[in-house]
């Protein structure tokens, strides 16, 4: 099984950024643990702070991979272009968030892309990614 994980803007700062919300672990070390736990899964990781690069990655993997796990960060709430890219590919996408976006500011309660996704997992810390992976398995 081939899974692409995509992290959007500011998620390169995990472990440094707003630790009380996002925790103190960097994504790379979490990813190492995840790969060790699921050795049979081919897991690719891509992070970008740029909307167009995220769209290009969705186009690149979206006709051959088995699943995409995507935390689009703040683009979740604004990007019609990413929502359209998800609608345009064949690979199912699961939207994930580390924090519970519904317990935060109102502008985070809206997702432009959720309706084009297989499902949404929010609020379980980095375990949100693992839960998404489990659902593909």
Burial class (CB in 10 A: 0-12, 13-18, 19+), 131: middle
Query: Which residues, listed in sequence order, are joined to residue 7 by a DSSP beta bridge?
Result: 47, 71
Contact 45, 70 (CB under 8 A): no
From the candidates 65, 75, 97, 129, give the one annotated as an active-site residue: 97
82 binds ligand DQA per the rule CB under 6 A: no
Asked whether the beta carbons of 44 and 66 are under 8 A apart, the reply is no
Q: Of the residues 22, 65, 75, 129, which is catalytic?
A: 22
CB 13: neighbour CB atoms within 10 A? Answer: 13
Does residue 118 contact residue 95 with C-beta atoms inside 8 Å? no
Least distance between ligand DQA and beta carbon 39 (Å) = 26
Q: Which is nearer to ligand DQA, 90 or 106 (CB)?
A: 106
User: Where does this chain touch ligand DQA (CB under 6 A) — which range of 53-61, 78-86, 91-99, 111-119?
Assistant: 91-99
**Binding span for ligand DQA by CB under 6 A among 35-43, 49-57, 67-75, 110-118:** 67-75
Q: Which residues are annotated as catalytic?
A: 22, 97
Residues in contact with ligand DQA by CB under 6 A are: 10, 71, 73-74, 76, 97-99, 101, 108
């Amino acid at each position: 099984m081939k899974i692409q994980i995509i992290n959007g803007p500011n998620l390169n700062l995990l472990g440094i950024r707003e630790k009380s919300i996002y925790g103190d672990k960097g994504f790379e070390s979490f990813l190492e643990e995840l790969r060790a736990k699921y050795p049979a899964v081919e897991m690719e990781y891509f992070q970008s702070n740029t909307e167009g690069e995220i769209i290009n990655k969705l186009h690149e993997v979206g006709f051959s991979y088995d699943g995409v796990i995507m935390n689009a960060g703040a683009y979740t709430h604004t990007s019609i272009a990413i929502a359209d890219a998800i609608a345009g590919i064949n690979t199912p996408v699961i939207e994930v968030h580390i924090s519970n976006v519904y317990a935060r500011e109102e502008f985070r309660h809206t997702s432009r892309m959720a309706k084009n996704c297989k499902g949404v997992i929010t609020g379980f810390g980095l375990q949100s990614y693992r839960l998404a992976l489990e659902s593909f398995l």
